[in-house]
């Protein structure tokens, strides 16, 4: 969406709202997804006998659908509010598509702040709860179980670090204002850089970290790196 804004600053309202709905839904989805993964590790370590029955494939799909539905509540309510406060002609117009184009009333801004805080607070509470109980379980576990327990709380700790990076989205307005005050650059350029560094970068870490930790992916990655190094070192190939 932000790439399109660099080339197309003004777009029809329906298209803008469609893109914004996707962007906001995935933003709220990030902390809930991390909390869900931490909860799965908690069940695996602290409730090992119940893990096969609780964490089934069917229940996983149901839980993921519920999580996406919860993430969709905020942009969906924004669309409903806009439909009620704006005329039909508004949806035939073109606007500058950014995060604030969704906010047509003050109540929307308040609602979004409360929902953002709620989502991240739930995620942080889940992280703290699961991490503490996994650490307790690791201390009381037998020697054969300590290794898996240690991996579990290291995983949850990694989730917490990712959640911390995702929480930086709350300081984006402050960073934009400070950067604009000291550098006097184009506001659109500042928003682009803060989006890359503060919002997009933490989301790229998750697939990168889990990909490197996955054994099959790591095996193919090593082969790919060796092939690239060989081709780079031998121009004739």
Tokens of 119: 């989502």
Indicate the pTM of the whole model.
0.73
Q: 237 pLDDT band (50/70/90 cuts)? A: very low
Tokens of 221: 């990655």
| 136: containing domain | 2-233
Q: Report the CATH number that the domain containing residue 87 is assigned in CATH.
A: 1.20.1070.10
Mean pLDDT (whole number) for 114-137: 84
CA distance 173 to 181: 12
Total structural domains within the chain:
1
* Exposure of 63 in the CB half-sphere (CA atoms within 13 A): 14
- For 36-74, the pLDDT digits (tens) are 888 888 888 888 888 888 888 898 899 999 999 999 998
Residue with tokens 């503060």: 198
- For 80-106, the pLDDT digits (tens) are 888 888 888 888 888 877 777 778 888
H/E stretch holding 131 reads helix 106-140
Residue 224, pLDDT > 60, answer: yes
């Amino acid at each position: 969406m932000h790439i399109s804004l660099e080339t197309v600053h003004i777009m029809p309202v329906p298209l803008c709202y469609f893109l914004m709905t996707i962007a906001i839904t995935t933003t709220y989805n990030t902390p809930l997804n991390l909390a869900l993964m931490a909860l799965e590790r908690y069940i695996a370590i602290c409730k090992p006998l119940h893990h096969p029955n609780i964490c089934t494939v069917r229940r996983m799909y149901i839980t993921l659908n519920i999580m996406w539905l919860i993430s969709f509540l905020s942009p969906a309510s924004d669309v409903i509010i806009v439909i009620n406060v704006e005329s039909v002609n508004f949806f035939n117009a073109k606007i500058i598509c950014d995060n604030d184009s969704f906010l047509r009333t003050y109540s929307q801004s308040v609602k979004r702040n409360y929902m953002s805080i709620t989502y991240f607070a739930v995620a942080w509470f889940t992280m703290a709860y699961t991490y503490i109980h996994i650490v307790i379980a690791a201390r009381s576990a037998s020697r054969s179980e300590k290794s898996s327990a240690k991996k579990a709380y290291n995983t949850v700790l990694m989730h917490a670090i990712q959640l911390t990076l995702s929480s930086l989205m709350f300081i984006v307005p402050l960073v934009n204002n400070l950067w604009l005050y000291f550098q006097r650059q184009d506001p659109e350029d500042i928003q682009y850089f803060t989006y890359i560094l503060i919002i997009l970068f933490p989301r790229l870490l998750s697939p990168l970290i889990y990909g490197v930790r996955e054994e099959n992916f790591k095996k193919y990655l090593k082969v790919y790196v060796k092939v690239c190094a060989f081709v780079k070192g031998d121009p004739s190939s």
